[in-house]
Amino acid sequence: MPTNTQPHTYKRILLKLSGESLMGSQDYGIDSLRVNQYADEIIAVAKSGIQVAVVIGGGNIYRGMQAAGNGIDRVQGDHMGMLATMINSLALQSAMEAKGYKTRLMSAIKMEQVAEPFIRRRAVRHLEKGRIVIFGAGTGNPYFTTDTAASLRAIEIEADVILKGTRVDGIYTADPEKDKTATKYDRISFTEVYEKGLNVMDLTAFTLCNENKLPIIIFDMNKPGNLGRLMKGEQVGTLVEF
């Protein structure tokens, strides 16, 4: 069982990671150094007493939407993408369990030899017991992104917040990689994001959060220590609130 050693703001969080983030400095695939960095940071948060669930994308391996442009049926491509998320989820699970922390991987599509099926009550019970829960295979349905899966699972398990780890340190007035005059928001409302047309999540995922009053924090997961600082209440990234 985790010990509550650090002050924190949230009781239960859902961390959304992109598949591309697992590539590290590589062009594709999984960088073991990046996976281990993530595992260390997630475990540290869990040991502080916060219940942690994770959703990982599959873009470092396969993207269903891109597959449609290559002549592959969109539904088939999305199913391939779901399997890619399971590969990433297994990699993160392996890294965390190698460090001695108990985890559970739950899949939205049946694969009993690999992972538990997603059952909401069981997921909540795992979290209450201090296990890190990874949700794989998206929503189990084509045409939905892993951002939408993260929003849906966070609502289902009654998480306090979605933390979206990206390669940028928050939401900006414009793309900071293209516009050097862009400035970062520390806080912004859902309404402002809609009105300004800012890119936070896909619209389905973002609307789910808005309708269910679930705040989102966009932050740079690749900067060591950011996740821990965020959980201690420090100003990290951008909070999307009501």
Listed by start position, the domains of the chain span 12-241
pLDDT tens column, 40-57: 999 999 999 999 999 999
Report which of residues 183 and 4 the model is more confident about: 183
- pLDDT attached to residue 63: 67
Distance CA 45, CA 18 (A): 19
Stretch 180-189: mean pLDDT, rounded? 92
Instruction: Kindly state the average pLDDT of the residues 171-192.
Output: 90
CB 56 within 8 A of CB 92: yes
In the structure, what pLDDT confidence band is assigned to residue 24 with cuts at 50, 70 and 90? Answer: confident
Mean pLDDT rounded to a whole number for the chain: 91
Q: Is the pLDDT of residue 9 over 80?
A: no
**Whether pLDDT at 3 is above 50:** no
Question: Could you tell me which residue, 66 or 153, shows the higher pLDDT?
Answer: 153
* Residue 65 reports pLDDT greater than 90: no
Q: Taking 90 as the threshold, does the pLDDT of residue 239 lie above it? A: yes
Q: Does domain 12-241 bear CATH number 3.40.1160.10?
A: yes
User: What pLDDT score does 195 carry?
Assistant: 92
Q: Report residue 7's pLDDT band, with 50, 70 and 90 as the boundaries.
A: very low
Residue with tokens 């891109």: 66
The beta-strand segments (E) located in the chain are 12-17, 51-56, 103-107, 116-117, 132-136, 161-166, 171-172, 184-185, 187-189, 216-220, 238-241
User: What is the rounded distance in angstroms from the CA atom of residue 200 to the CA atom of residue 92?
Assistant: 24
Task: Please state the rounded mean pLDDT for residues 97-104.
Answer: 97
Which residue is it, tokens 């609502």? Answer: 155
Top pLDDT among 200 and 120 is at: 120
User: Of 128-137, 151-160, 170-179, 204-213, which range is least confident?
Assistant: 170-179
Q: What is the pLDDT of residue 68?
A: 57
> Average pLDDT, stretch 173-199?
89
Q: Which pLDDT value is given to residue 1? A: 41
